[in-house]
């Protein structure tokens, strides 16, 4: 089972922006997630595309880790960082599975990526809710 590039982008890009709440944090957050917003629709489905997306996700996580979340949103922010670690690992697993040409591994990796991407979306929503108070 292969994920199309548009499916991956739709699943993962929940961290495309944050509004409301602490204006300074939201602006910094939006700058930090820029590596993911710049992916575009032509990502591709080759292993190198998943590796590239993993690197951009890792960069986004590193950018976010430099931010100081408002105190009332710290737990949600920490959860988002943890979820980004998981999705980065799953993106790399998809790339490895694609290289292996093992359909079972591909299916398992794709399912794990969908789960971890959903967790990123949920964590980002929780952060946004905490910021909006």
What phi and psi, each to the nearest 5 degrees, are found at residue 108?
-65, -45
Number of domains in the chain: 1
Query: For residues 112 and 90, is the Cβ–Cβ distance under 8 A?
Result: yes
Q: Can you give the pLDDT at residue 30? A: 81
Token pair for residue 43?
């990502």
In this structure, what DSSP letter does residue 23 have? H
Q: Can you give the pLDDT at residue 31? A: 84
DSSP 43-99: --SSHHHHHHHHHHHHHHHHHHHTS---GGGHHHHHHHHHHHHHHHHHHHHHHHHHH
Q: Can you give the pLDDT at residue 133? A: 73
Domain residues for the domain of 26 are: 5-132
Residues 95 and 50: their CA atoms lie apart, in Å, by: 5
In this structure, what DSSP letter does residue 14 have? G
Classify 19 as helix, strand or coil: coil
Query: For residues 127 and 80, is the Cβ–Cβ distance under 8 A?
Result: yes
pLDDT (tens place) for every residue of the chain, 133 residues total: 455 443 444 345 444 455 545 568 888 888 888 777 666 555 667 888 889 889 989 999 999 999 988 889 999 999 999 999 999 999 999 999 999 989 999 999 999 999 999 999 899 899 989 988 7
């Amino acid at each position: 089972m292969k994920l199309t590039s548009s499916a991956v982008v739709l699943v993962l890009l929940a961290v495309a922006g944050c509004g409301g709440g602490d204006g300074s944090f939201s602006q910094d957050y939006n700058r930090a997630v820029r590596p993911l917003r710049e992916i575009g629709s032509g990502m591709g489905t080759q292993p190198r595309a998943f590796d590239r997306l993993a690197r951009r996700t890792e960069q986004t996580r590193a950018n976010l880790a430099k931010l100081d979340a408002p105190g009332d949103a710290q737990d949600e922010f920490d959860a988002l960082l943890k979820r980004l670690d998981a999705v980065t690992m799953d993106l790399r697993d998809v790339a490895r599975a694609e290289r292996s040409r093992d359909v079972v591994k591909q299916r398992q990796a794709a399912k794990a990526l969908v789960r971890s991407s959903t967790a990123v979306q949920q964590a980002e929503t929780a952060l946004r809710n905490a910021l909006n108070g």
